[in-house]
Structure 1
Amino acid sequence: MSEQNVSKPLPDLPTDKSEFWILRLYVAGHAMRSLTAIANLQALCEEHLPDRYHIEVIDVIEDPERASTDQILALPTLIRALPPPVRKIIGDLSNTERVLVGLEIAQHSH
């Protein structure tokens, strides 16, 4: 699994960048936890951030330098790049409430 975009192509960012979310998910190949994290993140974004997100999946097996740059110590790890501040969540993202709180999505929804 190489780096792939699992959401719609990255559109022009709106002038109010706090309304658009860029999320980076670091995974390890096709491991079950990796696939679960991808599916959970897609479902969460479709429900809480429809048409306002971009997901970038980075496979650390194929791009270990990228994981080092972002200081990834465990997998899977989700990074919220936009809106600031940067946030990190480790795990398969199955606890939706924890993910919403960790990413502060509830504060930004609609």
Structure 2
Amino acid sequence: MEQEYYELRLYVAGKTAKSVTALRNLKQYCEQHLKGQYSLEVIDLLVNPQLAEGDQILAIPTLVKKVPEPVRKIIGDLSNEEKVLVGLDIRPRQREN
């Protein structure tokens, strides 16, 4: 079974508590469930505000799953792992004993 590759983009605004938490949570989930199957681009809208338009970003932080389709967006600090995995359509890996 071929595993899908995920292209993720996290929009943040500087080093706010929510942005830092979202990035930390996202990295943890990706390493746990998508190890070797993802790319993560972090876009700081304080540095590149014009990039918000392309993905129609209305709130920060926002995670955008570009690939595989459909494109999905999750807003917030990504602290609810189940909500993030469902939102990204990731099936949790079975933990090995």
**In 2, Cα distance between the equivalents of 1:63 and 1:92?**
20
Normalising by structure 1, report the TM-score. Answer: 0.80
Normalized per residue, which structure has more helix? 1
Normalising by structure 2, we get a TM-score of: 0.90
The correspondence for 1:53, drawn from 24, 38, 53, is 38
Unaligned stretches of 5+ residues in structure 1: 1-15
**Alignment map for 1:8-19 (pairs within 5 Å):** 19=4
Which amino acid in the other structure matches residue 6 of structure 2? W
Give the percent of matched residue pairs that are identical in Structure 1 and Structure 2.
55
Distance 2:84 2:78 in 1: 6
Matched residue, 1:85: 70
Alpha-carbon distance in structure 2 between the residues aligned to 1:100 and 1:77: 14
Match of 2:23 among 17, 29, 38: 38
Give 2:38's aligned amino acid.
Answer: Y
Secondary structure of residue in 1 paired with 2:11:
strand
Task: Give the secondary structure class of the aligned counterpart of 2:35.
Answer: coil
RMSD of aligned alpha carbons: 1.6
CA distance in 1, matches of 2:74, 2:36: 22
Paired residue total: 93
Name stretches of at least 5 consecutive residues in structure 2 with no aligned partner: none
The whole-number CA distance in structure 1 between the counterparts of 2:52 and 2:80 is 23
Establish whether residue 69 from structure 1 lines up as the match of residue 62 from structure 2: no
CA distance in 2, matches of 1:24, 1:94: 17
